[in-house]
Structure 1
């Protein structure tokens, strides 16, 4: 159904396309104007009694908003079903077709290129928003991507501990300093399909020992999850795997002490990674379908932030985005809590007070026997240092 526009709209919007244009463009069998909807539905109804209409109405468990069912003049002449359609269409959003995957891959390819360009041009004295503008320019100039999937997060220094930095009250306006870690979460949208990529790197192009410790903790978690992913695997288990690897690394780095399994019981991992491991990706950055009927949201810290608790299925595209952050609002209470304070080496943790955080995020397709990383950016510390020093990417 398309709107019947007044003829004078052509002055402002250009040629008003005929119905045949939409039929050819979208490869559909029938196209009508919206004011014809009631008559068209009656004409195509072959049964007896009132025609039955399936209307889209249901909860998006990510936004917690309900879709508004269709309404039009004459709808009272139809029976309506508000329950059948929503779960069916939601599952269509969860499992991607080959054509959808091609669009997501293109968005990933051009966004990956742009991230590398930002890495190469970052230097102390610049503003965060200048690097954001480079990303926007590259994806539009070379990929035709007019829009981003979400507001860019261009966080440096302590800002990288603000999970959704870049909003109107914190508009990517800090000056980069030598010694900062940068956390850049940016993804272009192409033909309505998104990408969601985060790269973390040192502004000066060289990792310090502390930066390497935290970065490699997150990278090890990121890689372990992608290696383990396959149909039937629980996403909750993947989150726990990432948490455990990060905690083990922090213990090796002397930030934490004690038994890692005990830390898991007390949810210490959620102090360093309070967000969920990842989310479904597609037309929406946070695509729907994370909690269909029968899938319950966990209640524990960290786990309750998961945007899905499903088992993985072939055809899903899901972000893998573990992180490790030093957030005073979480660390201070944890180091005063009787159950969790015993795990912290306070003196060492205090040395990371203004560190910020690290997040590494890739968009991953679940395949028949495993997974495919759709994101193509340097990840190892030596790769990042080489690229920032002017080396080629990808490496030949």
Structure 2
């Protein structure tokens, strides 16, 4: 499912780890900051409150004894918060912090006579500055801790993601046919070195690639050996069949021997393609003329349509092999009319049969595969795909909307 509204980089592991680390660090810093702030503030306010209440007790004794009050104490002094004045007038004692003459002040008030309040004020500026400085220190230290943690975490996660990206790249190369590709993680080479999960994945991928390569090479050798071993007896059979007197059985024998010889040559060609060592013999070719030669050589009723001719740099023999196989497949497995169209560097072969089966459209040609009792496509399309890859061309298969199979070969254009 495609995600909407988010860029692709939002799904990377490094970003998710960075966001997770940042959120966790911020949450931890906020929690610790709040705890420290609350603890220090309660302690600071508690000390200022105890001092103010102590001075209020002394002022109350002096007021009741008729002595003069100390500086900072008075009855209904200006600046006393209204809520604290009302509390004292009701006969209770209390404290409150407020601004007085532009400075934070801790007030303590209690009841005096005739519903008046006796209050003292204590300078709270130093305690307020201490709390503000503490909050700033918490913010700076939290920011520094988050930054350092994020950098260290990003460095650690980046090392892991870099190894994961390298492993994924090797996996894509293997899926693309490069079975020599290996991750080669150094942690997998030293048995004494502890392996992490990424190293385990890399080792498993390398082991899988080696096993797959070994099996594929074994199959390729088997195919080549079988094809080589069949050539000699088939040559003898062909010579013997030519000596038989003309008859219907003789025709059947010769036909089957010819089919076996064709199959053997196809197997040998596939084994050569599988080795990946085919060499190109490039030359400039006119696609229109080449397409006409292929159709004439096929001996089939195929219409050649040249919409726009092109001159391409290619291997003539291999290109004729690809187009010849496509035309032969269209006549053998499809229905007429069959057409071969040249439009620039794009060559299209189309028939009007039942079209390609679903598995071929999804996975490409597969050797000798049949489905639902239908006749398989043999090795022709497999060879066409292999030769197209050698040419550096792109061969695509599709079904026309109005019925029929369509093979599209796209070449690199020279002129």
- TM, length-normalised to structure 1: 0.20
Structure number with the higher helix fraction is 2
Q: Which protein, 1 or 2, shows the higher relative CO under an 8 Å CA cutoff with sep ≥ 6?
A: 1
- TM, length-normalised to structure 2: 0.19
Between structure 1 and structure 2, the one with the greater Rg is 2
